[in-house]
Structure 1
Amino acid sequence: MTPVLVGVIGIAVLFAFLILRTPVAFAMLAVGYGGFYVLEGGRAAGAVLLTESYGAVSNYSLIVVPMFILLGNISSEAGFSRGLYEAAFAWVGRLRGGLASASVIGCALFSAVSGSSVATAVTIGKVALPEMKRLGYGDALATGSVAAGGTLGFLIPPSTGFVLYAILTEQSIGRLFMAGILPGILLMALFIATIMIVATLDPLAGPRGPHVPMSEKLGRLGEALPLIGVIVISIGGIYAGVFTPVEASAVGAGLVILFALAGRRIDAGRFRAAVMETVKTSAMLYMIVIGANVLNPFLAVTDIPAALGNGLVGLGLGPYGTLMMIILGYIALGMFLDGLAMLVVTVPIVYPVILQLGFDPIWFGVVAVIVIEMGMITPPVGLNVFVVKGVAEGVPITTIFRGVGPFLLAMIIGLALIIAIPQIALLIPNSMFGT
């Protein structure tokens, strides 16, 4: 068999594993090792398995993953996430659909400490959904706003998606973090605009919240200041050049632990639970990185990326036509695969094509992450939809999918703007690090 045919078979087997719900890390390990064994022999396959596994786990930049996960878990256990939501509710809850808008703002702020879409949706959903139900919000708008807002955890730094993309493509984590800021704010604004439109068309879907006096608004803001301060110091420190992303993650985790202990907002049991959850999640992500590092050499020797690039260029669609083909492929995969699986499986294949077409790799990282975000709320898989379903008892899954429909349209508009105006993603990283 030719290397290309072995590669095609390997990719087919990989997708079969994923459809059968094999953990993505072990699916990639099996296909990468097995494919290399067929093409290069057992000695070479064993060498790749050992060297790539060691290289993955010893990557200094990967330390940001457990540090930022710990930061998010401690914030959740200490109740800081509730403070973010309550502060947002105090300031915008009086608007039409304001409670849903507060949920989106809370998701955006919590995304800046968690880096996880699922963690963001669960954390804010537990706080926001009962309150929206109490005030008579429609189930579709309430659950849709939380599911869509949760996707911001994959885009707003410290995004786990950006960390994996940086490792897979050998790009700067700092540049990718900074590239996610303006697109994240853009999507947040589009989500809030969507909520206001839905609530205007159907006032019963998003009634106004109670009036909150200014003294209470300031008090709620004061309660949220510790976590907002951590966000400003850690992410702002990267922007100012004071910290590297790794240092910022450690500073942020250390500060939130100090705030939680000083304010007596966490006991030994909950602290232990946060640490154990961090260990489990970090181990899963490290295994995914190991699997990707074993799979990539196999794909390289099959010449699949080069063949795909030549095939797409040969279609004569031009750079943006080819980009649209790639995006449509991502959207199709998003209907069946979770976000991390899509990222680690597809980036090694499409990244050489993006470089060949002359697109900025940092900009494409933002585009890819947004398209993957869309997959998180797209049927039939829609991971965030099922996460919200677990929090929103009694709400049919069809209602949640109906609720995220307007937000999917908002994400398409945001993606189109970023493609048409690349500086939305590139302005901050280029101003910091140069072009």
Structure 2
Amino acid sequence: MDISLAPEVIIVLMFSCLMLLMATGQRVFGVMGFVGVAAAMWLWGGDGGATDMGFNAAIKLFNWYPLLTLPMFIFMGYMLAESGIADDLYHALHVWMGSLRGGLGVGTLFLMVMISCMNGLSVAGMAIGCSVALPELVKRHYDKRMISGIIQAGSSLGILVPPSVVLVLYAMIARQPVDALWLAGIVPGLLLAALFLVYIVVRCWLQPELGPAIPPEENRHTLAEKLQVLSAGILPLLLMAAVIGSFFLGYASLVESSAIGALASIVIAFVRRRLSWLVFTNALRQTLNASAMFMWIMMAALAFAAVFDGLGAVRAVEALFLEDWGLTPWQVLTLMILSFVIMGIFLDDTAMLIIVAPLYIPIIDTLGFSPIWFGVLYVLTCQIAYLTPPFGYNLFLMRAMSPPDFTIKDIYLSVVPFVLLMVVAIALVMIFPQIALWLPERFAGA
């Protein structure tokens, strides 16, 4: 291999080309795959196997057996959404919490946490929040920015709480046990949800106009009626127990537990008399769209990362941080976290993960940090990237699915307090690693 430029310079050039082409509005997977293959051709020429490098790297994707969990978990979430189970859950939360200031906001957050536990993706939470919770919150005269912030921040919990699809992908790439990563995400996820909840309650208590309580005459329910609507959450809770419990207790593998979840979601829809051909085909269609998007991005990112491996990028970056710049391990870790935030402006979590995980994980091992702990920090940072302008994923989804009177300014400003709370959560997990590591060390031997 004859490279006239230093590997560091080539890495910078590749990322610069990637960002420049994405600024033109092209598809992420197309730009990423093109830059990776073009860089391979430039560095090694057509006779050195460079023409096959991108294809060979991408085809590895089909050898990842645990990747079968991806469409299963996605289907499970969409089936529950299409069959109206989420509507039942929200109605129950509406009855129980509507009489409190900000109560529907708190109920919406609880709904998001439950949907996260059933789906593991942010996009499903956004779709359900905008279709189920948003109209009711608007009807009850909640502040637009409060509504937007709750839905966007609450949906981001889907990539941290089990069964997180992003943590499954991280486990495959970093070669870490999925059960340990799922356990590691539970306490930080609950911590973040608690921070959101406290903020909503305190803010709406101090400023009742942001989240007014439902008038008593509109929310008169007997205890028997409240207990009856509460039954709406029993079947989804059983679903979560079946999926996560069967895996953790060793009764099923990860792929088998995802299949159990997909089948159980169909059974739940049937039991609730919500299963129809339209519901089934809509869930399948949305699953296909989401899964295909993940697959294309992952294949392109693997082709891009193959050039990194050929350049020896891990050794180059490690030498740059530790030898040339003389940084301490914590300074290196902080730079990695900041790089996630910057890349998250332009890339989605899957693309970012496949690009940087092969680069950063060996360095994390060298520095003596836990890859499990680092995985939680990565996901927490992805949540911030979802909500930060100008290209935050959830910002675009919120704009596309909200009414016209929700301006882009409202949507951008709505996430500021929640992003600050996420920064607090990251700081706490960095300062106290046991927040993420206690459960894995106790139950998974991580």
TM-score w.r.t. the length of structure 2 is 0.92
Per-residue displacement from partner, 1:168-224 (whole Å, max 9, x unpaired)? 322223322222111111111111011012112211101123454332332222122
Change (3 A) 1:341 1:51: closer
Q: Are residue 154 (structure 1) and residue 159 (structure 2) matched?
A: yes
How does 1:211-360 map onto structure 2 within 5 Å?
Answer: 212-314=221-323, 315-360=325-370
Out of 143, 149, 168, the residue aligned to residue 173 of structure 2 is: 168
Partner secondary structure for residue 136 of structure 1 = coil
Equivalence for 2:394: 384
Residue 411 of structure 1 aligns with an amino acid whose one-letter code is M
Residue 285 of structure 2 aligns with an amino acid whose one-letter code is M
Q: Post-superposition shift, 1:62?
A: 0.2
Q: Are residue 116 (structure 1) and residue 121 (structure 2) matched?
A: yes
Cα RMSD, aligned residues only: 2.0
CA distance in 2, matches of 1:28, 1:342: 11
Change (3 A) 1:71 1:124: same
Residue 433 of structure 1 aligns with an amino acid whose one-letter code is A
Q: Post-superposition shift, 1:20?
A: 2.7
CA distance in 1, matches of 2:184, 2:346: 27
Partner secondary structure for residue 204 of structure 1 = helix
Equivalence for 2:435: 424
Q: Post-superposition shift, 1:108?
A: 0.8
Out of 384, 391, 395, the residue aligned to residue 406 of structure 2 is: 395
Residue 129 of structure 1 aligns with an amino acid whose one-letter code is L
Q: Are residue 70 (structure 1) and residue 75 (structure 2) matched?
A: yes
Change (3 A) 1:184 1:20: same
CA contact (8 A) 1:330 1:371 kept: yes
Change (3 A) 1:430 1:243: farther
Change (3 A) 1:114 1:306: same
Equivalence for 2:18: 14
Partner secondary structure for residue 376 of structure 1 = helix
Equivalence for 2:106: 101
CA distance in 1, matches of 2:305, 2:190: 33
Q: Post-superposition shift, 1:50?
A: 4.1
CA distance in 2, matches of 1:7, 1:240: 44
CA distance in 2, matches of 1:86, 1:316: 57
Equivalence for 2:143: 138
CA contact (8 A) 1:155 1:180 kept: yes
Q: Post-superposition shift, 1:100?
A: 0.7
- Comparing 331-340 and 259-268, the one that deviates more: 331-340
Change (3 A) 1:17 1:216: farther
Partner secondary structure for residue 331 of structure 1 = helix
- Comparing 394-403 and 103-112, the one that deviates more: 394-403
Change (3 A) 1:139 1:271: same
TM-score w.r.t. the length of structure 1 is 0.94
Q: Post-superposition shift, 1:47?
A: 4.1
Partner secondary structure for residue 21 of structure 1 = coil
Per-residue displacement from partner, 1:233-275 (whole Å, max 9, x unpaired)? 1112222232222111100110111121233202102211211
Partner secondary structure for residue 387 of structure 2 = coil
- Comparing 43-52 and 203-212, the one that deviates more: 43-52
CA contact (8 A) 1:148 1:404 kept: yes
Q: Are residue 2 (structure 1) and residue 5 (structure 2) matched?
A: yes
CA contact (8 A) 1:182 1:424 kept: yes
CA contact (8 A) 2:57 2:306 kept: no
CA contact (8 A) 2:174 2:358 kept: yes
Over the matched positions of the two proteins, sequence identity in percent amounts to: 33
Question: Which structure 2 segments of 5+ residues have no match?
Answer: none
CA distance in 2, matches of 1:414, 1:87: 29
CA distance in 2, matches of 1:291, 1:159: 22
Q: Post-superposition shift, 1:3?
A: 5.8
Out of 20, 34, 59, the residue aligned to residue 38 of structure 2 is: 34
CA distance in 1, matches of 2:342, 2:10: 24
Residue 16 of structure 1 aligns with an amino acid whose one-letter code is L
